[in-house]
Structure 1
Amino acid sequence: MGGCNSAGVKIYVSGPVSDATTVQEVQNAVVAAGHELTLDWSADVAFAQDYASQAERSARMAQEELAAVLEADAVLVVASEHDGRGMFVELGAALTRASRGELDHVVLLGEIHHESVFYFHPLVQRVPAVEDWLAQFP
C-alpha cells in the first residue's frame, strides 16, 4: 500500500449531512493540495431528511459511500457541532480497514463536540484542521 507522500492520494471526506458546507471546504482543500476525492456526497443532500421516501436512491447512496471509503487511501472525518449518523458507519469501515493494515490514514478533523469512543481509537489521528494534516505531506 502506498503512503501519502505522492500527489494523487485518493481521499474520502466524511461528516454530518447537516454540515455539508464544512465537508465541502475540506474537500476543496484536499483537491487544491493535488489529491482526488473518491466521492463527493455533499453536493446533493436535499433528500437527507427522509431517506425512506426515496429508498432506491438511499440504497444507491449507501453503496456508493461505502465503496468510496473502501477505495480511499485516507478517510477524513469532520468533527462538527452537528450530529451525524452515517459518518460513524464510514468511520467504522475505515477503522476496520486500518485494523487490517489496509488503510494508514483515518483522520478526525476539528474540535470534538459529540464524543464517540471511536474518535479515540489508537488508529485515529486527531488534528485541528485539514491543513494540519495536509502539511505533513510534501
Structure 2
Amino acid sequence: MSVFVSGQIGEKARIREVFSDLVAEGWRITHDWTTTDDLGKVLESGDEASRRAAADITGVLDADVYLLVSDNKAAGKGMYVELGAALAMAESRGAPDVYIVGPMNHASIFYLHPLVRHLPDVAAVVKDVQDRRNLKAAES
C-alpha cells in the first residue's frame, strides 16, 4: 500500500512517527517531505520551491491512500493544497482513499467532504483500509 502523509511543516517529528507506524505495517511512503529544511529562504528560490511543490503533488498522485494528520498546533497551508489534490484525484479516478486522523484543530470545510474518512489514529486507518480491500476482494 502506498501512502502520502500531510501535516504541518513545523511538526515533522510527529509526521515521522506516523511514517514509522505505516512502514512497520508494510506501507510505502510516496514522498518524505520531512527530510527537507523548513521553508524560510526556500520561498526566495523559485527553483527549489517549485521542485518541492512538484514533489509533494507527485507524492499525492502516486498514493493509494492520502492521510492528513490534523492535530497540528499551528495552522498549515501546504497540507490543505495536498488535501485538495487528493480530493480532486479521488473524485476523478476513485483514488486515493482520503483520511483525516486526529482532532481537527484548524478545521477546513474540505475536512467535511463526503470522500473524507475521519479516524482517531493511524492504526484505525490501517484497519479500515484492510477491511475495505478485503470487502472489495470478497465482492469480486
Aligned residue identity for 1:34: G
The corresponding residue for 1:3 is none
In the alignment, is residue 78 of structure 1 matched against residue 69 of structure 2? yes
Contact 2:66 2:96 in 1 (8 A): no
In the alignment, is residue 39 of structure 1 matched against residue 31 of structure 2? yes
For 1:109-120, what aligned pairs fall within 5 Å after superposition?
109-120=101-112
Contact 2:86 2:96 in 1 (8 A): no
For 1:1-138, what aligned pairs fall within 5 Å after superposition?
9-46=1-38, 48-79=39-70, 80-136=72-128, 137=130
TM-score scaled by length of structure 1 = 0.87
Tell me which protein shows more helix as a share of its residues: 2
The CA deviation at 1:104 is 4.5
Relative contact order (C-alpha < 8 Å, sep 6+): which is higher? 1
Distance 2:43 2:125 in 1: 36
The CA deviation at 1:92 is 0.3
The CA deviation at 1:18 is 1.0
Alpha carbons of structure 1 residues 50 and 83: separation in structure 2 relative to 1, 3 Å: farther
Structure 1 stretches (4+) deviating beyond 4 angstroms?
none
Contact 1:17 1:45 in 2 (8 A): no
**2:111 match: secondary structure:** helix
Contact 1:106 1:125 in 2 (8 A): yes
Identity of aligned residues (%): 33
Q: Which runs of 5+ in 1 are unaligned?
A: 1-8
Q: Which runs of 5+ in 2 are unaligned?
A: 132-140
Contact 1:11 1:74 in 2 (8 A): yes
Alpha carbons of structure 1 residues 68 and 89: separation in structure 2 relative to 1, 3 Å: same
**1:125 match: secondary structure:** strand
Aligned residue identity for 1:93: A
CA RMSD of aligned residues (A): 1.4
